[in-house]
Structure 1
Amino acid sequence: MTNKEKMIVPLLPLRGLLVYPTMVLHLDVGRDKSIQALEKAMVEDHLICLVTQKDMSIDEPAEEDLYSVGTLAKIKQMLKLPNGTIRVLVEGLKRAVVNRFEEEEEFFTVEIEGYDTEEEADLEDKALMRTLLDYFEQYIKLSKKISVETFSTVTDIEEPGRLADIVSSHLPIKVNQKQEVLEINDVKERLNKVIAYIHNEKEVMQLEKKIGQRVKKSMERTQKEYYLREQMKAIQKELGDKEGKTGEVATLREKIEEVGMPENVEAAALKELERYEKIPASSAESSVIRNYIEWLLSIPWTKETEDMLDVNRAEKILDDEHYGLEKVKDRVLEYLAVQQLTRSLKGPILCLAGPPGVGKTSLAKSIATSLNRHFVRISLGGVRDESEIRGHRRTYVGAMPGRIIQGMKKAGTVNPVFLLDEIDKMSNDFRGDPSAALLEVLDPEQNHTFSDHYIEESYDLSKVMFVATANNLATIPGPLRDRMEIIHIAGYTEVEKLEIAKRHLAPKQLKNHGLQKSHLQIRDDAMMALIRLYTREAGVRNLEREIASVCRKAARMIVAGQKKRVVVTEKNIEEFLGKARYRYGQAELEDQIGVATGLAYTTVGGDTLAIEVSLSPGKGRLVLTGKLGDVMKESAQAAFSYIRSNTKKLNVDEKFHEKNDIHIHVPEGAVPKDGPSAGITMATALISALTNRPIRKEVGMTGEITLRGRVLPIGGLKEKSLSAHRAGLTKIIIPRENEKDIEDIPEIIQQELQIVLVSHIDEVLQHALVGEKK
């Protein structure tokens, strides 16, 4: 049952505050209009209407700024404070609906309609009250901001409407939500509204608690880690370990940022460093990661030397350190000249091919000196595992980068001269083909992103000048050979060897043996005798050994006091080196029947080859001996067939093959021999034996023969001409199609050798055989 009562009372606007009926609380009032309203109420019946502002920031609220439902309250006490405000104690009496505003000069008065509700709780109300109290108890336990005494006070309330008001006043909900509760006159609806609010607040509190627990755990873990780290630092400091792993990680991070890696490599290095920091030092993986980071730091990423692009200076260095080898020097100087013009040319990939001892490796060092670049050398002899080039994956025990990355670490710059020594000595097996792995290294279009299995990140090799050395190009796979610029170094003439010995080898060996120029003198005639009679090679390695032997003998004489100064001449060289090991002069001492001198090309340079033919009574059997390869056997068969088909022309008995067994022998049968250039030599020796005409002793020859007697071109002319000159021949017969290669032969050799160009076997016979056809 509800009683309505109208009355006119002064208005007190409230900011951010709401008063429910039956509530008693203090208010601090400071606005002039509000103070006037209070004084008016105190003069009359102490009644005042408390209405909440919609926007608490407004100082002078109008009618539209206030809610239409408020609380009729009674002023219990009023006290003036020193700062001019008034503290008033009010008690809420009943809900009041504002019907009309009447603004007086000094304050508002309103006509209100008060609701006085007589509450009798039914069963549903009691159930709602119980639910509300249960929720309120749970909320108090979660929030811990409301005392247990407050809850016990609330449980004593029997009126359902009053219970809803009191609980709502304790909830931390917004003022507009509390206003909604105030405006609900129906008790059941009000209870349900407060239950909904408290349920929502309870859910929020539970979430807050979970979040708080998570944050607390995180904070505890962080604090624990910080505490443990500080303890570890203190322990390490006591042990004399300075700052231990923490300091080490900080140092490594600083180095990674300073070394100038590409962004992707730096990111990978920092990621590995984070892993290293978290893994215990006792873990096996810790050392693996540490080694990986150290490799990344030790490889040059940006550091490079500045090329000294002075062609004249480079030419002087190359000439001072190497006598001869004009082709190679020209190629290096051309590269320098182009660099000087463009400053952006990729590093060339040169392959110095030639016999041992001609100075391929030392020439690569001179190239580095002339360019002012660092020099690094790796030997590929016997390498047969792909991982030697590309490195091992880090999952393997003892993994490390390949030889290319190791070489770059040793070089310390991104643009060294990188020597791949003995590139022809690589082999392959079940572990992979290292020559295939080198394809990427030696391809200018690919090597700017070289991939090493250990490093994993791409590495730029495009600024490196690669120089490879090889003795035999035939053993280098075609795709790899195609990526290199081949420069042939055939060998040296006697004059060149003499100059090399005087300029480089003799001074070096004198120094190595502790001798001065005043102690030992090797005269030119003795040096020439040493070259001719004690060495027979394309290079100068054995020559250097013989000079070293002379130096040792001289050193012993001087130390023993036998002589103070040793002079070596052509006459006394036998005292130092013994009897001559080789015969210098004509390859044969006299013209012989069935013995022809061929010119051969081997992996150690050019050489002369005697081919002997003997006839014996028989049934035409052709015997070939001397450990010949298939190609040489086929050359012999071709020469034999040509003679059989041209017996009249050659003045040979038509039935020679029915009456005689023919034996072709190439001496030094233990040495394998093969190649396509012995055809005319075998044919000449065979015709000489069949016609009984001697072959000139001073003539050497090379060329392949066809069944029609044509002479086909050959390779290695320079090496073969050098070997002919070494052997003392004065005339060489070569295919006419090799005329273009004569310019490769040193001028001094051309002057001392008569070079005869032929295109048919008939021309060969004219120059090789002694006497006329019978």
Structure 2
Amino acid sequence: MNNPNDLFKHLSLSDISDFENIELIPIGAEGLENNDKMSVLSDELPILPIRNIVLFPGMVIPITVSRQKSVRLVKKAYKGDRTIGVLVQANNSKEEPQPDDLYKVGTVAHIVKMFVLPGGNTTIIVQGRKRFEVREFIKTDPNLIAKVNYLEDNFPKKLNKENKALVSTLKESALKILNLNPEIPREAQIALDNIDSSAFLVHFLSSNINAELKDKQELLETLDGIEQATHLLEYMMKEIQHLELKREIQSKASSDIDQQQRDYYIRQQIKVLQEELGVESPEQELDGLRAKGAKKKWSKEVNDFFLKELSKLQRTNAMSGEYPMLMNFVELLVDLPWSEYTKDHFDLVKAKKILDADHFGLEKVKERIIEYLAVLKMKGDMKAPILCLYGPPGVGKTSLGKSVAKALGRKYVRMALGGLRDEAEIRGHRKTYIGAMPGKVIQNIKKSGSSNPVFILDEIDKVGSDHRGDPSSALLEVLDPEQNNSFMDNYLEVEFDLSRVMFIATANNLDTIHPALRDRMEIIEVSGYTMEEKVQIAKKHLLPKQKKEHGLDKADFSMTDAAIQKVVEGYTRESGVRKLEQELGKVVRKITKSIAIGEEYPHKLQATDVVRLLGQENFENDSYESNEYAGVVTGLAWTPVGGDILFIETLLNRGKGQLTLSGQLGDVMKESAMAALSFLKAHADLLDIDYRIFDQYNLHIHVPAGAVPKDGPSAGITMLTAIASALTQRRVKLNLAMTGEITLRGKVLPVGGIKEKILAAKRAGIKEIILCHKNKKDIEEIEPRYITDLNFYYVENAMEVLTLALLHEKVKNPVNFVLQDEAKPNSSVAV
């Protein structure tokens, strides 16, 4: 049998928790001497041989059973009355013992719990009941069975003064041993204090005394309780003398060992323990770091810095709090990819195929990347440009970075900058701070394992700032090709070359980017997709991806172009394709469900099937309104999710020349309205407008969808045309929309978001569009097939706009202006 303490090395938590449910026979304060009344015991007992431990009456101990005969015995007993006889094996052999190998006096045990351990061994929790003596062994197979005589304890029920003193001395000696031996848990004292029975105290101390096995067996065989207590006290006094001598020797030895020797001794012990556990010692770790450093391709300056830090680490006590911080720093130095570069691929044809396969459209962006590869191929080396992909959400800016990395054969890392407010996230913390670490730039370079990865700076327009510094300013050094070859991280304290990293930033809005930061980047606009492009992207990329993610094959179903177009028009309103992918995912889930439960479903989805699967359409395209009313003009607007059309409504009523603006307009839009009105007042004669109208009629300009904030200069010429139409009561040209900024001199200025605005106009059925002549280059960048059936008018001043937009025909039932003559207030004239 193994040491009983081994039980707790193998039991799981669930097994140990089962101890709460163990039912013990109440042997102790009142019943140890009369425990034979608890149950009738047979004179024939199955015998369990044990090693290394002696079971005393009343004691509860664990026993691990490993021999096959013993395992069969305890399992059989556990199913029966759970009573066995426990005899100690005189020798320590692991072989099956013979009757002559066993002592003849043992203890009857009651099995209170049995555990089957993972290794195949069986552990039982037993409680000793009373002693017995073997008369003869009557059976040895399949297990030992003996005829026994039960032995009665002879312990006085009432103690005289001498016996009371003996018991008191036993308890005091036990407490002294507890104080002298720190390895004994303090809970043992609580157990001693709770023992009231003198007989149980003697058995308890006999079981736990540090004595030889034969001495404990001798105590078990001593039936006279007072005699047993006397022998027990002798053993306890020897143990006390031994512990006191040990403490005295330790005290003398410790006074002769100085602090340095003590530390050396402890370090040697730790080293031995680490070797036993298979853990590298500090010296081995330092040797490993030194070997790694010798292989690094770093400069002499960095190498000297590394050796200096390594020397500092070697001088530091491994048990001090500073050691792990120095270790982390030195490990960072050797883990960084100093001058380790991946080889760029210069197969431009293959690179173009990768970009075309991963992204439909985006010709300008892909062309710029191919140009970069071409220069790199011809020159062999160049400072990496800082590209900034600017456009609405969902157009593929971030995923484009993965395709660039694939085309170049470089590693890919991405850093999200949205909501970043702490400058230390870029530059790192100084090592003097608790919990210091390098900035995310260095962390991602380490993660990539290369000094020239494609590094995506996602959402650079959403970087914030607060009392912890300005991350945008910290990014200046990272993104400046003239400075980033010597980037200094506060934690690293040594320069790191970022000039070979290809940084690609993404942004939705350029206005919120720090001006100096924006100046360091090459802005490439990634505009929204046309209807045709979205259909192709859905067919080639989004739908196959969703089928694969939902466990469907290509042949399970397909969608016609009309069905995809219905999803785009009726359920999404965006420049990108993120929402389109979500809606296609809904369609695929519906089909997946039908396949899974065996329902009928269309194998080729039409537009009507889309409505049935997705429900009623979420959006309706804004349609052009007729020109029956004066003062209503269609404008074009840019929104974060793409282009849209808006209507400017103008109304005149009798008053004192007040201007009212409504529709939740921003300051820039209000200023455009005032500039347009001022221009018309200055040039009223050219449009046959009676100047008295401006003083005697109030002007109200409204932009519908009042709950949506609107701002920007793009509605300048639209407001000019609307006001002029209201003042002249002339019709506006049919199927016409416009966008452009206006000045007080009547000059028309260019605006942005042209592609998105043109797509919105086409969706609304508009045929003619007025733009600033400087926006002609934006139209030329759009593929001709996407702008068929659209006529563009390029203008330079406001009068050209009005000439194109206003017809000479007046609206039906025009307003009859009644104006007061300034010289004769009581007279009036109709205009």
TM-score by length of 2: 0.64
Partner of 2:592: 555
- Equivalent residue, structure 2, for 1:737: 774
Q: What secondary structure does 1:636 align onto?
A: helix
Matched, 1:641 2:678: yes
- Residue 638 of structure 1 deviates from its aligned partner by 1.2
Q: Is the 8 A contact 2:729 2:810 kept in 1?
A: no
Question: Relative to 1, partners in 2 of residues 1:646 and 1:238: Cα closer, same or farther, differing over 3 Å?
Answer: closer
The answer to whether the Cα contact below 8 Å between 1:586 and 1:698 also exists between their aligned partners in 2 is: no
Which residue of the partner structure matches residue 720 of structure 2? 683
CA distance in 2, matches of 1:522, 1:619: 61
What is the total number of aligned residue pairs between the two structures? 555
Deviates more, 1:542-551 or 1:637-646: 637-646
The one-letter code matched in structure 1 to 2:581 is: E
Tell me the residue number matched to 1:727: 764
Secondary structure at the counterpart of residue 717 of structure 2: helix
**For the structure 1 residues 244 and 755, does the alpha-carbon distance in structure 2 shift closer, same or farther, using more than 3 Å as the test?**
same
Deviates more, 1:328-337 or 1:238-247: 238-247
Residue 346 of structure 1 corresponds to 383
Task: For structure 2, list consecutive stretches of 5 or more residues without a partner in the other structure.
Answer: 1-256, 812-831
1:721–1:745 Cα contact (<8 Å) kept: no
In the alignment, is residue 315 of structure 1 matched against residue 352 of structure 2? yes
Once the two structures are superposed, the pairs formed by residues 730-769 of structure 1 within 5 Å of their partners are: 730-769=767-806
Q: 1:660: which partner in 2? A: 697
Q: What SS does the aligned partner of 1:385 have? A: coil
Deviation at 1:585, TM superposition (A): 6.8
Q: Deviations over 1:532-558 (max 9, x none)?
A: 222221111111111111111212222
Alpha carbons of structure 1 residues 234 and 762: separation in structure 2 relative to 1, 3 Å: closer
Greater gyration radius:
1
1:27-426 aligned within 5 A: 228=265, 231-232=268-269, 235-236=272-273, 239-426=276-463
Determine if contact 1:233/1:243 at 8 Å carries over to the other structure.
no
Shift of 1:343: 0.8
Distance in 2 (alpha carbons) for counterparts of 1:300 and 1:692: 73
- Rounded to whole Å, the distance in 2 between the matches of 1:735 and 1:481 is 26
Distance apart, 1:604 and its partner CA = 3.5
- Tell me how far 1:699 sits from its aligned partner: 1.3
Query: How many Å separate the matches in 1 of 2:394 and 2:474?
Result: 28
**Other structure's SS at 2:482 match:** coil
Q: 1:773 to 1:385 in 2, by over 3 A?
A: same
Q: Does 1:467 align with 2:504?
A: yes
**Structure 2 counterpart SS, 1:638:** helix
Task: Tell me the distance in 1 between the aligned counterparts of 2:643 and 2:665.
Answer: 17
Match of 1:538 in 2: 575
1:485 aligns with 2:522: yes
Letter in 2 for 1:599: L
Mapped contact 1:705–1:712 kept (Cα < 8 A): yes
Give per-residue Cα distances to partners, 1:234-280, cap 9 Å, x unaligned: 63356435552121221122122223332222222222222222222
The RMSD of aligned alpha carbons is 2.4
Over 3 Å counting, the alpha-carbon distance change for 1:234 and 1:683 in structure 2 is closer
Of the candidates 637, 648, 665, which is equivalent to residue 600 of structure 1?
Answer: 637
> Residues of 2 paired with 1:687 and 1:226: CA distance?
94
Relative to 1, partners in 2 of residues 1:585 and 1:637: Cα closer, same or farther, differing over 3 Å? closer
Q: Which amino acid aligns with 2:636?
A: L
Determine the C-alpha separation between the residues in 1 that align with 2:307 and 2:269.
23
Q: Which residue of 2 aligns with 1:516?
A: 553
SS at match of 1:616: strand
Corresponding letter in the other structure for 1:358: V
- Corresponding residue of 2:751: 714
Shift in Å, 1:314: 0.4
Find the aligned partners of 2:799 and 2:670 in 1 and give their Cα distance.
22
Counterpart residue number, 1:51: none
Identify which of 596, 610, 625 aligns with 2:647: 610
Q: Which moved more, 1:560-569 or 1:510-519?
A: 560-569
Tell me which of 471, 475, 480 is aligned to 1:438. 475
Instruction: Choose 715-724 or 305-314, whichever is displaced more.
Output: 715-724
Query: Residues 736 and 759 of structure 1 are in contact (CA less than 8 Å); yes or no, is this contact kept in structure 2?
Result: yes
- Once the two structures are TM-superposed, the CA of residue 737 in structure 1 deviates from its matched residue by 3.0
Question: Which residue identity lines up with residue 369 of structure 1 in the other structure?
Answer: K
- 1:453-506: per-residue Cα shift (whole Å, max 9, x none)? 011110000110000000111111111111111111111111111111110011
- Displacement of 1:620 in angstroms is 1.5
Distance 1:700 1:314 in 2: 41
Q: Conserved in 2, the CA contact under 8 Å of 1:592 and 1:694?
A: yes
SS of 1:624's partner is strand
Give the letter aligned to residue 648 of structure 1.
Answer: D
Instruction: Mark the CA change 1:275 to 1:236 in structure 2 (over 3 Å): closer, same or farther.
Output: farther
Q: In structure 2, do the counterparts of structure 1 residues 243 and 732 end up closer, same or farther at CA, with 3 Å as the change threshold?
A: closer
**Does structure 1 residue 625 correspond to structure 2 residue 674?**
no
SS of 2:714's partner is: coil
Identical columns (%): 51
Give the superposition deviation at 1:323. Answer: 0.9
Match of 1:91 in 2: none
Question: Distance in 2 between the 1:765 and 1:455 partners?
Answer: 64
Match runs of 1:568-583 below 5 Å: 568-583=605-620
Per the alignment, residue 740 of structure 2 pairs with 703
Is 258-267 or 419-428 further displaced after alignment? 258-267
Shift of 1:644: 2.0
Quick check: 2:573–2:642 contact (8 Å CA) kept in 1? no
Q: CA deviation at 1:679?
A: 1.2
TM-score w.r.t. length of structure 1: 0.68
Indicate if the aligned counterparts of 1:678 and 1:704 stay in contact, CA closer than 8 A. yes
**1:417 Cα offset (Å):** 0.4
Q: Is the 8 Å Cα contact of residues 623 and 765 (structure 2) preserved in structure 1?
A: yes
Q: SS of the residue aligned with 2:457?
A: strand
Structure 1 contact 448–462 (Cα < 8 Å) conserved: yes
Query: Residue 413 of structure 2 aligns to a residue in which SS?
Result: strand
Find the aligned partners of 1:255 and 1:311 in 2 and give their Cα distance: 37
In the alignment, residue 718 of structure 1 is paired with which amino acid?
A: K
How big is the shift at 1:658? 2.9
Deviations 1:326-377 (A, max 9, x none): 1111111111111111111111110000111111011111111000111100
Which is further off, 386-395 or 617-626?
A: 617-626
| Contact 2:271-2:281 at 8 Å conserved across structures | no
Q: 3-state SS of the aligned residue for 1:571? A: helix
Summarize deviations over 1:518-541 as a string: whole Å, max 9, x none: 222211111112212222211111
Partners in 2 of 1:229 and 1:272 — Cα distance? 25
Aligned partner of residue 809 in structure 2, secondary structure:
coil
Which residue in 2 is equivalent to 1:115? none
C-alpha spacing 1:392/1:660, structure 2 compared with 1 (3 Å): same
- Evaluate the alpha carbon distance shift between residue 259 and residue 708 of structure 1 in structure 2; reply closer, same or farther with a 3 A threshold: closer
- Whole-angstrom CA distance in 2 between matches of 1:300 and 1:221: 45
In 1, Cα distance between equivalents of 2:681 and 2:278:
93
> Is the 1:381–1:425 Cα contact (8 Å) retained in structure 2?
yes
Letter in 2 for 1:528: Q
1-structure distance, mates of 2:601, 2:294: 64
